[in-house]
Amino acid sequence: MIKPIYLYGAEVLRQKASEANLNDREAIAALVQDLKDTLVRADGCGLAAPQIGVSQRVVIVDGDVVADTYPYLKDFRRTLINPEILEESPEQVTYSEGCLSIPGIYCDVLRPKKIKVRYYNEALEEVTEEFDNFAARMIQHELSHLDGDLFTDHAAPIRKKMISSKLLNITKGKVHPHYNSKLK
């Protein structure tokens, strides 16, 4: 089911999400389907459960949306349940990031180029996988949501100052994304 995406200023986006109950397969399957339906409608490349108001450690990423720019991400899709970053490369790269919860704002963010993650997939099988380049970027961005961390938190101080009025406007409802959204 398509859910509204919570926007900047919503409390759920700043909470540390709890682990998903792996014994409740039906609830996890329903949450994952809601995330997929909502992501497709919003035309994004990733979504975390807190962004639809569910404070659980579940994220999805879909590289098809960015495959024109990053062809290696064609058909790259992952569902990560209770993910944990095990390793980060010392090499870091900067990319411009955006977010469905912060529409219309983009900032350069420095993150590790490669990561190793342990998670449960949709079949609730434990997986350990390495990701690099933009796949690592998408996953790190979504995993940050699980800790109440937003990409704008990592922007350079001058950039934060430049976007502060836009962020304030989002909290006041002065933004109209093309997808269903919610402030609180």
**Catalytic center residues:** 142
Are 17 and 35 spatial neighbours (Cβ–Cβ below 8 Å)? no
Are 32 and 122 spatial neighbours (Cβ–Cβ below 8 Å)? yes
> Count of CB atoms within 10 A of residue 54's CB?
19
DSSP string covering 134-182: HHHHHHHHHHHHTTT--GGGGS-HHHHHHHHHHHHHHHTT----SS-EE
Strand arrangement, sheet containing 77-88: 46-48, 58-62, 77-88, 114-120, 126-132
